[in-house]
């Protein structure tokens, strides 16, 4: 029986959006998804049967064999090329005016990149593209003015898929990076910010939240255009890459078959990749741009890139490691006799998740995924209004010993449950605030400056019933020197998990494992080191000195191993690992075989014999009746 109909919806439409820091490997993953499996199967390394010594390898062999048949090439949608479509919506002179305008220069200066704000050299080269620009501009205008829905989708697909557009984009990007790649990336960043802010690439003054999804909406329209091109064919698309968390939310809410895949790389290797890729740039400029994109913007700057938040929001994490990296690391595991899962290359990880997207439950979660899922789920208990973090501690065999999340100590009120009005008016739930907050002059001055002003009153309607709370650490850091994390009211997630064991009693965790949805800060790293944690699994590197200053200090035998997590977490964990039906039943339908246990077989045989016996008894009974009738007939004749 062909059961593909069951999986039809799952397999006919898949959207993967990549995210990650520069140098993490998003482009490599996107290219591989575009190329598919069959073009270069050797890149996925077939697991030899005689080398399979761990269940993780057995799982990989299953996904390899599945991918060999089912890995379909993906259509690549490049985010930076989508931005060019917005540029082409306006004429050539508008584009040149944008590259020379004062507002563009000002944006460069805001990022301390003012020395890169002059585009005279680039414009000289760009003039050779004017004819191609105008031809594409006409096509884009025709697309915008088209009113028939299907025809409009067709025009957009034809523009984006055309060789002329692809060739133009390559030339334009190369010319914009004539002086510096940082310069090209910065101007594209500004174009994206402007579109998400105002709806136009050359308008940075008008801020309207209604435009935040303008770019995402065009990508979504292009996805529809490809899906309607041939309804009999499946649609697999990869977006390289999304770096605004609100855009990830946009696709997640609209497309059930959407997966955000974060590509992470060990910091040392990522920096080496950056130095190679930007070898003609000033490295300080590169770091400024990367740091700005990673940290993102707060509150009113919702339209800017925020890579850190995108990584936190991802469904699937891939640790970008080469086969050489993996071979070296797995050799170390063997030598140390560590009880951990082996490392896998990014290609091998990719096959696993593509197989699970296509065939949910084809393999079971890794021990690391199981434990990180618990940490990920725990973080939503956090009452912190800045960032929610979860942590899990296990023994060396992955048995859970404690779960923690960042929150105030038990008995104190989390920031999310307090209301600023109570402190302003010194009534209501005033017990939720500390004596320091109620009486310290400096704090009260800072607090009232931010919450007892016309802005709060003027925007009260826009709150629509939302609780107005505040971050204590942010306020105290606003009037005291430095950003002292000691002033936070919350325990860190890792710290809370460590204390659960102490508070409620339990086994020691020496040689155990720590799972954190971020990565441990200096304070938590010291605690982990002291407690003898052997392996720390993390998702997002902490921007401090915990690795160099604490975790790699002292005796090498005691130094914990830092492992960048790869796996599915959150809703994707359930979406990928929950099978549609029991695998035994699925195989039974396909193979049309039915294996009956001996007891059932005996029961069937007994039932058959019983049925045969009943039939015989019925026949005997009928013969008896016939015999009686014959006797009576014979007696009547004799008489």
pLDDT above 90 for 141: yes
Whether pLDDT at 514 is above 60: yes
More confident residue, 354 or 481: 354
The confidence score (pLDDT) of residue 297 equals 67
- The mean pLDDT of 395-410, rounded to a whole number, is 95
CATH 3.90.228.20 matches 370-411+489-569: no
Indicate whether 622 pLDDT > 70: yes
Nearest of 134, 44, 121 to residue 90 by alpha carbon? 134
pLDDT band at 334 (very low <50, low <70, confident <90, very high): confident
Tokens encoding 204: 């940075």
28: exposed, middle or buried (Cβ count in 10 Å: 0-12, 13-18, 19+):
middle
Q: Which residue has 């334009």 as its token pair?
A: 172
Residue 432: burial class (beta carbons within 10 Å; 0-12, 13-18, 19+): middle
Question: What kind and span of H or E run contains 235?
Answer: strand 235-240
pTM of the model: 0.89
Whole-number mean pLDDT of the chain?
Answer: 91
Cα separation of 265 and 278, whole Å?
17
pLDDT tens for each residue of 157-190? 999 999 999 999 999 999 999 999 999 999 999 9
| Phi, psi for residue 22 in degrees, rounded to 5 | -60, 135
Strands 316-319 and 258-264, sheet pairing: parallel
Tell me what the mean pLDDT of segment 271-295 comes to.
92
Is residue 404 within 8 Å of 493, Cβ to Cβ?
Answer: yes
Mean pLDDT of 245-271: 94
* Strands laid side by side in the 13-19 sheet: 75-78, 235-240, 13-19, 258-264, 316-319, 567-568
Helix (H) or strand (E) holding 94: helix 92-100
pLDDT class of 106 with cuts at 50, 70, 90: very high
- DSSP E strands in 47-99: the ranges are 75-78
User: What proportion of the chain, given as a percentage, has pLDDT over 70?
Assistant: 97
How far, in Å, CA of 519 to CA of 541, rounded? 5
Strands 390-394 and 400-405: antiparallel
- Is the pLDDT confidence value at 339 over 70? yes
Q: Which pLDDT score, from 0 to 100, does residue 116 have?
A: 95
User: Would you say residue 51 has pLDDT above 70?
Assistant: no
568 token code pair: 């599915």
Q: Does residue 33 have a pLDDT over 90? A: yes
Q: Measuring CA to CA, which residue among 477, 475, 472 is closest to residue 488?
A: 472
Tell me which residue of 411, 358, 476, 409 sits closest to 14, measured CA to CA. 358
The structure tokens listed for 450 are 């931010």
The pLDDT of residue 398 is above 60: yes
| Cα(497)–Cα(514) distance, integer angstroms | 9
- What pLDDT does 634 receive? 82
Give the integer Cα–Cα distance in Å for 525 and 538: 12
Model confidence at 458, pLDDT cuts 50, 70, 90, reads confident
Q: What residue spans define the domains of the chain?
A: 76-314, 370-411+489-569, 416-480, 599-639
> What distance in Å separates the CA atoms of residue 131 and residue 289, rounded to the nearest whole number?
32
Write out the two tokens for 376. 């990920």
State phi, psi for 514 to the nearest 5 degrees.
-115, 130
Q: Which residues pair with 237 in a beta bridge?
A: 15, 75
pLDDT band at 461 (very low <50, low <70, confident <90, very high): confident
d(CA 202, CA 107): 12
**β partners of residue 317:** 262, 567
């Amino acid at each position: 029986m062909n059961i593909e109909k069951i999986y039809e919806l799952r397999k006919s439409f898949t959207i993967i959006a990549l995210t990650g820091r520069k140098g993490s490997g998003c482009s490599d993953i996107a290219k591989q998804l575009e190329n598919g499996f069959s073009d270069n199967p050797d890149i996925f390394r077939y697991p030899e049967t005689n080398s399979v010594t761990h269940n993780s390898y057995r799982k990989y062999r299953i996904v390899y064999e599945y991918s060999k048949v089912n890995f379909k090439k993906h259509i690549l949608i490049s985010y930076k090329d989508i931005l060019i479509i917005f540029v082409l919506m306006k004429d050539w002179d508008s584009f040149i005016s944008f590259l020379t305008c004062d507002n563009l220069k000002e944006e460069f200066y805001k990022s301390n990149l003012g020395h890169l704000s002059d585009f005279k050299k680039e414009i000289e080269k760009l003039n050779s593209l004017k004819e191609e620009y105008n031809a594409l501009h006409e096509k884009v205008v025709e697309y915008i003015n088209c009113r028939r829905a299907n025809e409009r989708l067709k025009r957009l697909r034809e523009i984006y898929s055309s060789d002329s557009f692809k060739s133009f984009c390559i030339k334009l990007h190369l010319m914009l990076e004539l002086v510096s790649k940082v310069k090209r990336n910065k101007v594209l960043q500004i174009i994206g910010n402007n579109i998400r802010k105002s709806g136009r690439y050359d308008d940075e003054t008008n801020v309207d939240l209604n435009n935040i999804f303008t770019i995402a909406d065009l990508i979504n329209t292009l996805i529809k255009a490809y899906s309607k091109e041939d309804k009999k064919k499946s649609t697999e698309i990869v977006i390289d890459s999304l770096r605004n968390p609100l855009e990830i939310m946009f696709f997640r809410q609209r497309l059930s078959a959407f997966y955000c895949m974060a590509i992470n790389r060990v910091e040392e290797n990522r920096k080496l990749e950056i130095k190679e890729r930007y070898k003609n740039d000033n490295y300080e400029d590169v770091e400024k741009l990367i740091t700005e994109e990673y940290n993102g913007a707060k509150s009113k700057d919702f339209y800017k890139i925020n890579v850190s938040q995108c990584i936190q929001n991802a469904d699937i994490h891939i640790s970008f490691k080469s086969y050489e990296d993996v071979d070296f690391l797995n050799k170390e595991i063997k030598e140390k006799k560590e009880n951990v899962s082996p490392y896998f290359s990014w290609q091998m990880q990719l096959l696993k998740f593509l197989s699970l997207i296509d065939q949910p439950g084809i393999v079971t979660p890794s021990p690391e995924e199981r434990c990180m899922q618990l940490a990920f789920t725990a973080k939503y208990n956090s009452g912190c209004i800045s960032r929610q973090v979860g942590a899990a501690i296990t023994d060396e065999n992955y048995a859970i010993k404690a779960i923690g999340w960042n929150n105030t100590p038990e008995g104190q009120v989390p920031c999310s449950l307090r209301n600023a009005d109570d402190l302003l008016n010194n009534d209501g739930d005033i017990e939720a605030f500390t004596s320091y907050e109620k009486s310290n002059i400096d704090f009260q001055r800072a607090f009232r400056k931010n919450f007892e002003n016309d802005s709060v009153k003027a925007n009260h309607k826009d709150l629509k019933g939302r609780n107005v709370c505040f971050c204590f650490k942010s306020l105290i850091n606003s009037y005291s020197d430095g950003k002292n994390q000691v002033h936070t009211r919350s325990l860190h997630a890792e710290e809370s998990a460590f204390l659960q064991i102490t508070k409620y009693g339990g086994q020691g965790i020496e040689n155990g494992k720590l799972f954190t949805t971020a990565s441990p800060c200096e304070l938590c790293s010291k605690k982990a080191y002291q407690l003898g944690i052997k392996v720390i699994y993390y998702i997002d590197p902490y921007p401090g000195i915990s690795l160099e200053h604490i975790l790699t200090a002292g005796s090498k035998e005691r130094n914990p191993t830092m492992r960048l997590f790869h796996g599915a977490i959150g809703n994707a964990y359930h979406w990928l690992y929950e099978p549609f039906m029991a695998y035994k039943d699925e195989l039974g339908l396909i193979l049309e075989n039915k294996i009956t246990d001996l007891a059932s077989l005996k029961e069937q045989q007994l039932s058959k014999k019983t049925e045969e016996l009943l039939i015989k008894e019925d026949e005997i009974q009928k013969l008896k009746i016939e015999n009686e009738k014959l006797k009576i007939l014979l007696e009547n004749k004799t008489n």
